[in-house]
Structure 1
Amino acid sequence: MKPSRRVVLGAAAMAATAALMLSACSTSTPSASSSATSGALTPVKLQLQWFAQAQFAGYYAALKQGYFKDEGLDVTILEGGTDIVPQTVLANNQADFAIAWVPKALASREQGAGITDVGQIYQRSGTLQVSMKKANITSAADLKGKKVGNWGFGNEFELFAGMTKAKLNPAKDVTLVQQNFDESALLSGDIDAAQAMVYNEYAQILETKNPATGELYKASDLNVIDWNKEGTAMLQDAIWANTAKLSSDKAYQATTVKFLKAVIKGWIYARDNPQKAADIVVSYGTKLGTSHQLWQTNEVNKLIWPSPDGIGVINAADWKRTVGVAMDAKNLEGSTVITKAPDSDAYTNTYIKKALGELKSENVDTTGANFKPIDVTLAEGGK
């Protein structure tokens, strides 16, 4: 993988561009000037868990549209990479907030990281296990005797949970293969089933020519195992904050509410303006193409919207399921993600509900009950 990069994106530097962008906003998108603040901006660092891409469209939109500045914040977005653990960066006070999957963060908490989930942005899992149609793999049980790819680094938890539920022993019943962060091994036939995110690597397959037809692969050429349907899905992208600061630092508590409010506006913008949100991500130097970023924005929106309780609210049942899977699913060595249930500081809805309350008073749609995804046509190579 390419080395990680740090992207410094100060809100003040984007003010002029944000003003231009506002003129094109949908009427259903919150205005960036709805609660303007004055005086010095509070510096905030946000650590992402991967490189710039539409997986994080709402954060980039909040920056570009001036929503962070509107809340009195000067936000710097730090890109992630293969060698960066966001929750560790946060725990070490090198960032104020971080984006991380819940099971990964819970494993870090059990090891001593003082972090708290304050906003569960993704309501559904985006992880798939993809195979060619001819392999006839439609469920976790069908993985028996197959070469099964996975990325590792904590991305494999749902796969192991699915095999555990299907009563498969990952050490005996399948051949596990360390997979690169792409789909080359599946496309070359080196593995039978590959890990993929619905918003990223799955699209990479659909952007590739099928040598048998000379046309791009179609969804009908593939089978997917969706962990949401298998019952072993785990909560993914969440906003994590510093636990100690939340308990004692009133300024940080106030900043958390402001930060969440701006983030919500950013994700609403991405919901209502997927093409513009994708273009914003492209403008920040992503290595992925324009049609790929639009696909990614659209698929991420499906993982977020609708949010019946309000975007970012942690659903107790979903949390309980994630914790249960993390405690029960065994990996190749027989270990589980965590050994015990996390304490009550692991998540809180206090700050997200305050942010939602302020936005509801402004008649902002924070649930997306009428959300409808768009149709996206992928180009070869995601261009």
Structure 2
Amino acid sequence: MRVTPRARTLSVLKVGAVALSLALSVSACGGDGDSDSSGSGSEGSGDELTPVTLQLQWVAQAQFAGYYAAVEQGFYEDEGLDVTIAEGGPDIVPQDVLAAGDVDYAISWVPKVLGSIEQGAGIADVAQIFERSATTQISFKDKGIESPEDLAGKNVGSWGFGNEWELFAGMQQEGVDVEDINLVQQAFDMNAFLAGDIDAAQAMTYNEYAQVLESVNPDTGELYQPEDLNVIDWNDVGTAMLQDAIWASTEQLEDDEYAEQTVAFIKASIKGWAFVRDDPEAGAAAVTAAGSQLGTSHQLWMTNEINKLIWPSTNGVGMIDEAAWDQTVEIAMNTENETGATIISEEPPETAYTNEYVEQALDELRDEGVDVDGEDYTPIEVTLNEGGN
């Protein structure tokens, strides 16, 4: 069912032109966002709304479609919130912006935040939006790379910046150490991979993988096809780590008004993601309207692939699965990078995550008849065009 968007103004904080030019090629980097909110209550009085700022990991793209849809459709307003979305950029670490008190909530990957928590950041995962990992390692079929053990002796690309841990964990699980590969610092594009300089490249299902399929195969004159590639999926290997989550201030959660606001924010955000699930075209359009620079087919591909990370949801969108959390922590503590370092040196505190607020949000949504499980979810078919246009 298509919901007709309400006419409203989307409040978005932009990053500079340099970050915008990188929007197509970076999936999940860590905008400076200022908020006038003091964590006051979520319930509006009459037309009075509580200002709230959300810090993203990156610039506007369908990775964040649910939040943009929640603004456009008025879901946040329905909960008494006036939400400003602060875009991220190459020099922005969302969890640090949140820990500094400059925004009310932030979106970031769990392993990246675990390191910040160990260093003293007082923040908590209050809703685990992505249930599955989107990180893969892709290679052309003629390279014969079908599993992590096949990476030995190969030129293996990695962006670094906290995106490498699933790769390293998958390799080490199969007895391949970092020194057994030629680790290549991968740029935030697929040029080196397409040129043959990288045998196996890091690729998010919703971005870089699509960039390859949007490129012309010089041998055929047609776009590359999925059958031209081998894909190592860390969900299948068993070294997937939790990615996009909503983070809140642990100190402010002790305040009843901020706690109520958090439930309201999670509730409206999940409604946004349910809207994107049911109408991915409208979800993609909401992000484009917010200023995303991505091409039409690429944006829709991203929306569709992001939906696959969320739906169907095992326990309701946002619920933090203890086994998935423990796996992420175990990898963060025991997987070494090329310098021998690990993400964290000890178990994170119990305050690092909580299901208290998302459970309340899910209960309210179910009472309102919102499908928060998506058991019947089916992805759409997306045709990519050259260059993602």
TM-score (norm 1): 0.91
Are the counterparts in 2 of residues 310 and 356 from structure 1 also a CA contact under 8 Å? Answer: yes
Task: State the alpha-carbon separation in 1 of the partners of residues 18 and 115 from structure 2.
Answer: 25
Task: State the alpha-carbon separation in 2 of the partners of residues 118 and 346 from structure 1.
Answer: 9
Aligned mate of 1:268, from 246, 268, 274: 274
Aligned mate of 1:234, from 236, 241, 250: 241
Matches within 5 A, 1:278-357: 278-357=284-363
Shift of 1:364: 1.0
RMSD: 1.7
Matches within 5 A, 1:64-103: 64-103=72-111
Which residue is equivalent to 2:6? none
Are the counterparts in 2 of residues 37 and 71 from structure 1 also a CA contact under 8 Å? Answer: no
Unaligned runs of 5+ in 2: 1-15, 21-30, 36-42
Cα 1:36/1:42, change in 2 over 3 Å: closer
Cα 1:291/1:183, change in 2 over 3 Å: same
Which residue is equivalent to 1:16? none
SS at match of 1:364: coil
Task: State the alpha-carbon separation in 2 of the partners of residues 324 and 250 from structure 1.
Answer: 33
Instruction: Kindly provide the CA deviation profile for residues 319-350 of structure 1, in whole angstroms up to 9, marking residues without a partner as x.
Output: 11111111111100111111111111000000
Which residue is equivalent to 1:186? 193
Task: State the alpha-carbon separation in 2 of the partners of residues 161 and 197 from structure 1.
Answer: 17
Task: State the alpha-carbon separation in 2 of the partners of residues 39 and 381 from structure 1.
Answer: 44
SS at match of 1:77: strand
Task: State the alpha-carbon separation in 2 of the partners of residues 240 and 163 from structure 1.
Answer: 30
Matches within 5 A, 1:153-232: 153-170=161-178, 172-232=179-239
Amino acid paired to 1:130: I
Are the counterparts in 1 of residues 32 and 88 from structure 2 also a CA contact under 8 Å? Answer: no
Cα 1:104/1:47, change in 2 over 3 Å: same
SS at match of 1:160: helix
Are the counterparts in 2 of residues 7 and 77 from structure 1 also a CA contact under 8 Å? Answer: no
Range with greater deviation from structure 2 (64-73 or 37-46)? 37-46
SS at match of 2:53: strand
Task: State the alpha-carbon separation in 2 of the partners of residues 342 and 102 from structure 1.
Answer: 11
Amino acid paired to 1:43: P
Task: State the alpha-carbon separation in 2 of the partners of residues 260 and 318 from structure 1.
Answer: 20
Question: Following superposition, which runs of at least 4 residues in structure 1 exceed 2 angstroms of deviation?
Answer: 1-8, 35-39
Shift of 1:308: 2.3
Are the counterparts in 1 of residues 146 and 230 from structure 2 also a CA contact under 8 Å? Answer: yes
Task: State the alpha-carbon separation in 2 of the partners of residues 307 and 349 from structure 1.
Answer: 15
Which residue is equivalent to 1:128? 136
Shift of 1:36: 8.8
SS at match of 2:277: helix
Amino acid paired to 1:161: A
SS at match of 1:224: strand
Amino acid paired to 1:330: E
Shift of 1:2: 5.8
Are the counterparts in 2 of residues 116 and 346 from structure 1 also a CA contact under 8 Å? Answer: yes
Task: State the alpha-carbon separation in 2 of the partners of residues 116 and 83 from structure 1.
Answer: 22
Which residue is equivalent to 1:277? 283
Are the counterparts in 1 of residues 154 and 182 from structure 2 also a CA contact under 8 Å? Answer: yes
Shift of 1:3: 3.0
Task: State the alpha-carbon separation in 1 of the partners of residues 47 and 135 from structure 2.
Answer: 43
Instruction: Kindly provide the CA deviation profile for residues 189-219 of structure 1, in whole angstroms up to 9, marking residues without a partner as x.
Output: 1111110100011000000100010000000
Task: State the alpha-carbon separation in 1 of the partners of residues 369 and 70 from structure 2.
Answer: 18
Task: State the alpha-carbon separation in 2 of the partners of residues 343 and 307 from structure 1.
Answer: 26
Task: State the alpha-carbon separation in 2 of the partners of residues 153 and 230 from structure 1.
Answer: 22
Task: State the alpha-carbon separation in 1 of the partners of residues 139 and 89 from structure 2.
Answer: 26
Q: What is the aligned length?
A: 357
Instruction: Kindly provide the CA deviation profile for residues 1-22 of structure 1, in whole angstroms up to 9, marking residues without a partner as x.
Output: 96347599x9xxxxxxxxxxxx
SS at match of 1:39: coil
Q: 1:258 and 2:273 equivalent?
A: no
SS at match of 1:3: helix
SS at match of 2:139: strand
Which residue is equivalent to 1:358? 364
Instruction: Kindly provide the CA deviation profile for residues 51-70 of structure 1, in whole angstroms up to 9, marking residues without a partner as x.
Output: 11000000000011111111
Instruction: Kindly provide the CA deviation profile for residues 168-202 of structure 1, in whole angstroms up to 9, marking residues without a partner as x.
Output: 120x2001111111111100111111101000110
Amino acid paired to 2:250: T
SS at match of 1:182: coil
Unaligned runs of 5+ in 1: 11-34
Amino acid paired to 1:355: A
Amino acid paired to 2:239: T
Shift of 1:38: 2.5
Which residue is equivalent to 2:122? 114
Task: State the alpha-carbon separation in 2 of the partners of residues 40 and 98 from structure 1.
Answer: 23
Task: State the alpha-carbon separation in 1 of the partners of residues 45 and 319 from structure 2.
Answer: 26
Amino acid paired to 2:158: N
